[in-house]
Structure 1
Amino acid sequence: MPAALPATATAAAPAGSGADHAAGAAGAGGSSGSDFAPLARKVRASGLLDRRTGYYVRDIVITLGGTALTWAAVAWAGSSWWVLALAVPLAVLSTRTAFLGHDAGHHQITRTARSGWWLGLLLGNLLLGMGQSWWNDKHNRHHANPNHVGKDPDVGEGVLVWTAEQAERRRGAWAWLARHQAGAFFPLLLLEGFNLKISSVLHLRSRPGDRRGGQTGWRDGRGGRLLEAGVLAAHLAGYLALVFSLMSPGKAVAFIFIHHALFGLHLGCVFAPNHKGMAMPGPGQRWGHLRRQVLTSRNVRGGLLTDWLMGGLNYQIEHHLFPSAPRPSLRRLQPLVRAHCAQVGLPYTETGLVDSYRQALRHMHDVGAATRG
């Protein structure tokens, strides 16, 4: 493992284990709210939080237009097995749609939460079959406490484990999976496209806001839940009708699997490098916003192609610090955030894409070692 990051690290540095980053954090000292305030004022004054309506209108038109053209090509090639090749661009376009739904959920696109909700209903529920209420609930809890076990659902105990304590509780086949989870990670992502749909439906059966009695309006109550369920059902009916009417049953089943497998793989490969293997706050630790978001996040270095393929989420530190910042502003935010981290002595982690996967898989392998004793 690399040595702990120095407290004065200011440039992009290779990430080590969560313990390495925690050690670097300790050297940097606590990061209180006052550490973040000067950066927030500078970013607001820069105008980088302003809406980029033109950018998003173009992106939505291109994404929806490309999706329509792909389905037209499917109709043309439906009698041939070559139609399965069109599942590849359709998976990429589905991921592009998911990026737009993600941005809508963070209020990056619209000025009001209400219009963002309706846009999310269109992009998520109708076009992808992915419930926006499930995604927003899960994703907002992740943003509030990234990599914090017990608070961040992305490091909760599930099919995979993220801490040695979680691994030690595994028995039987689950223990075997924990031991081999680094090797199984990318194959498991092939099922993520289906998991997104299933989780969305299960979430609607028992909404967290309803259980807590914390509804904030019609959209969070029974009416909103029923509308979401209806739109999810419309997506499923429309998608299956398209596929089975345009090709034979055998081709249709193969097309569905390839489309969803590649969609899940692409989406998973975007989210995997962002936090795995980074600092994980311990029980009872309370970090300020700047420290909590910077130390638990990893940026992925790259150019315009990387920005496009990852939907801007390669700027994970900037996105976590300013989640409402429009996607095209994140690249311009980076120099401000990096300079501020250098000023307050906080490690700022950025690495290449392949190295980010290596670090994430190393963390998963090391966690699984708890079951090998």
Structure 2
Amino acid sequence: MRSCDFAVILTNTLSFLDIRIFEREELSKSLQAYKDGNQDEKKYMTIDNKVYDITDFIPDHPGGEQVISTHIGKDATDVFHAMHPESAYEMLANCYVGDLAPEKSNVQRTKAQQNSKAFAQEIRDLRDKLQAEGYFEGSTLFYIYKVLSTLAICATGLTMLYFGGHSTAVVFGAAVVVGLFWQQCGWLAHDFGHHQVSNDHDKNDLLVIFLGCFCQGFSLSWWKNKHNTHHASTNVSGHDPDIDTAPILLWDEFATANFYGSLEDNPGRISRFIAEHVLPYQSRYYFFILGFARFSWALQSLSYSFNQGALNKSARINWMERSMLVSHWVLFTAWNILFVGSITNMIMFFVVSQAVTGYALAFVFAMNHNGMPVITQEQAEDMEFYEIQVITGRAVSLSPLGDWFFGGLNYQIEHHVFPDMPRHSLPKVKPMIKSICKKYNIHYHDTGMIQGTIEVLKTLDVVQRLCEKFSKKVF
């Protein structure tokens, strides 16, 4: 039985309750009330033409409050099916309050909207077909190999320190190796976090805690809160946290206008200095700050875990996260102190390993979506989920070594269309997605690594010129 069929059966069993038909205008009012900050209004969303009251459920959403809030008053059908395990369908049924009224026959859609709907339906049909053919089944052998080979990278780096910690050259090499290990741990934690490997939610989380929290030093809850929202509202201004990098970097005209607009009345000295003398030169310091990305995310993870707690409110997960994060830094520091021969080399090992991971992670992340179209929340409301995923993503064609370095995220469009599909299936699905995009004239952007980097830098250059203009206007 398909999960969506199970959900239908569950919701139909509740028909004896106070179930009613919801007009579409009522959903629009729910969205507008949320935008206006009216906390007293009911918060609804629709999935498969059924209406769910999520007012009381939002704080308890296992994926975080932020991600579910991006779809208040909207149709969340595709994003729900793409990002939830089977266990979520029974929980969903508890919020069921009625059915969505049929769309009025006199509703006029533009050709673009009609095309987007037809495209989305074909992607849904493809998903059903691929599920039946086993494309969503993770290969146990593949992931055993990936876990063991990744841990072998760590063992290599630590062995280098153990036997050669007295040599500056060996310590430097070990720092590079450990940095690559952390990057590869990130890709594996990402796979397990998306439930690509197993249908067992708890097993996936345990592997994320081991690979992400203990091995890499990143909090499971911090990552899920951020990453789930990114998938639900990819490159949507004001919703996607991955493009909300002000005041370090600005990626689009919306973020630029918001940032400089916030400084018009009472700018602080630091904010004004950044606005006038830093952001107008962001393409020049872009590569420099990538090296700090890993350490910044690690600090954010610690802060989130000890201040916010576990995303699913589980005391057990919270304890495990915190203990693993602390263990990561204790063991990393102890190995550095015990086996590196001098203070200078200890500092070098710390700095180089952090910087290598920062570059290795952030370079891939930037290639995924930065420099691609950023859309407003209003535009997103008129677009189908699958179209947004395609037009905001950048596919990067690489060699097998490049695929390894990118952790399969160079198949970014396929990953965003089918986030729970294991990475070893993505290359097989790429031609299918491209073919459907071509059929409906949906832009599928496929490029090389060098060209993708140039596109990112060109975007930074365009926005920094805009920053210069805003700076003159505001100050």
Closer, same or farther in 2 for the Cα pair 1:266/1:28, shift >3 Å? farther
Amino acid at match of 1:367: V
Amino acid at match of 1:163: D
Listed as ranges, the gaps of 5+ residues in structure 1 are 1-24
Closer, same or farther in 2 for the Cα pair 1:31/1:187, shift >3 Å? farther
User: In the alignment, what sits opposite 1:174?
Assistant: 274
Residue 258 of structure 1 and its aligned partner are, at CA, apart by 0.2
Q: Could you tell me which of 208, 226, 230 is aligned with 2:319?
A: 226
In the TM superposition, what are the counterparts of 1:1-373 in structure 2 within 5 Å?
29-31=115-117, 33-82=120-169, 83-158=171-246, 159-168=248-257, 169-170=259-260, 171-175=271-275, 176-207=277-308, 215=312, 220-247=313-340, 248-285=342-379, 286=381, 287-373=383-469
**2:310·2:317 contact (CA, 8 Å) conserved in 1?**
no
**1:39·1:340 contact (CA, 8 Å) conserved in 2?**
no
Aligned with 2:371: secondary structure? coil
Residue 122 of structure 1 and its aligned partner are, at CA, apart by 0.3
- Give TM-score, length-normalised by structure 2: 0.69
Residue 244 of structure 1 and its aligned partner are, at CA, apart by 0.7
Residue 118 of structure 1 and its aligned partner are, at CA, apart by 0.5
Of the structure 1 ranges 85-94 and 133-142, higher mean CA displacement relative to structure 2 is found in 85-94
Aligned with 2:377: secondary structure? coil
Which whole-Å deviations, capped at 9, do the CAs of 1:134-168 have from their partners, x for residues lacking one?
11111111011110011110111432112224334
CA RMSD of aligned residues (A): 1.9
Quick one: higher RCO (CA 8 Å, sep 6+), 1 or 2? 1
User: In the alignment, what sits opposite 1:14?
Assistant: none
Residue 208 of structure 1 and its aligned partner are, at CA, apart by 8.4
Amino acid at match of 2:351: F
Residue 280 of structure 1 and its aligned partner are, at CA, apart by 1.6
Which whole-Å deviations, capped at 9, do the CAs of 1:307-350 have from their partners, x for residues lacking one?
11111100000000111111111111101111111222211110
Closer, same or farther in 2 for the Cα pair 1:172/1:134, shift >3 Å? same
- Give TM-score, length-normalised by structure 1: 0.87
**2:372·2:394 contact (CA, 8 Å) conserved in 1?**
yes
Amino acid at match of 2:352: I
Residue 26 of structure 1 and its aligned partner are, at CA, apart by 5.1
**2:309·2:318 contact (CA, 8 Å) conserved in 1?**
no
**2:216·2:328 contact (CA, 8 Å) conserved in 1?**
yes
Aligned with 1:30: secondary structure? helix
**2:209·2:320 contact (CA, 8 Å) conserved in 1?**
no
Larger gyration radius, structure 1 or structure 2: 2
Aligned with 2:116: secondary structure? coil
Residue 275 of structure 1 and its aligned partner are, at CA, apart by 0.8
User: In the alignment, what sits opposite 1:12?
Assistant: none
Residue 226 of structure 1 and its aligned partner are, at CA, apart by 2.8
Which whole-Å deviations, capped at 9, do the CAs of 1:81-111 have from their partners, x for residues lacking one?
1222221122112211111111110111222
CA–CA separation in structure 1 for the residues paired with 2:354 and 2:245: 24
Closer, same or farther in 2 for the Cα pair 1:69/1:85, shift >3 Å? closer
Amino acid at match of 1:111: N
Residue 205 of structure 1 and its aligned partner are, at CA, apart by 3.6
Amino acid at match of 1:59: K
Amino acid at match of 2:435: A
CA–CA separation in structure 2 for the residues paired with 1:195 and 1:50: 34
Question: How much identity, in percent, do the aligned residues show?
Answer: 28
CA–CA separation in structure 1 for the residues paired with 2:464 and 2:133: 45
